[in-house]
Amino acid sequence: MREEVQTNPHDLDEETLFVVSQTFKALGDPTRIRILNLLCCKEYSVNDIAEELNLGQSTVSHQLRFLKNLRLVKFRREGTTLYYSSADDHIMNLLHQAIDHAKH
């Protein structure tokens, strides 16, 4: 049985509110959802993401910068190429639950 965490509505400080709202903002954009969903299984370069999702490289770079600032994606450098991957399993679980819910 899963234990539910009880939160007091008065326990939400401004920083927590901001982080939660930014997370939902990130998940509220179809392009970012597509990128996060792609990155759930393996890492991709910006060019690979752009090709796989049929998006412009500048669009992908812009969205990755947003996701990186929220620490939802991480990257590693290999030569001059950056490879991006998911950085937050909690958010990926939330995303996949939302996708599963939408499909029902």
Write down all domains in the chain, each with its CATH number in brackets: 26-103 (1.10.10.10)
**C-beta separation of 20 from 7 below 8 A:** no
Q: What is the pLDDT of residue 3?
A: 57
Q: What letter does residue 10 receive in the DSSP assignment?
A: G
- Cα(14)–Cα(28) distance, integer angstroms: 21
- Cα(87)–Cα(85) distance, integer angstroms: 6
Q: How confident is the model at residue 8 (pLDDT cuts 50, 70, 90)?
A: low
Q: How confident is the model at residue 55 (pLDDT cuts 50, 70, 90)?
A: very high
Residue found by looking up tokens 């326990």 in the block: 11
Percentage of the residues of the chain whose pLDDT score is greater than 90: 60
Measure CA of the first residue to CA of the last residue in the chain; give whole Å.
24
Q: What is the pLDDT of residue 49?
A: 98
Interval 10-15 mean pLDDT: 84
Q: Which residues of 72-88 are buried (b: 16+ CB within 10 A; e: fewer)?
A: bbebeeeeeebbbebbb
Alpha helices in 40-88 (DSSP H): 46-53, 57-69
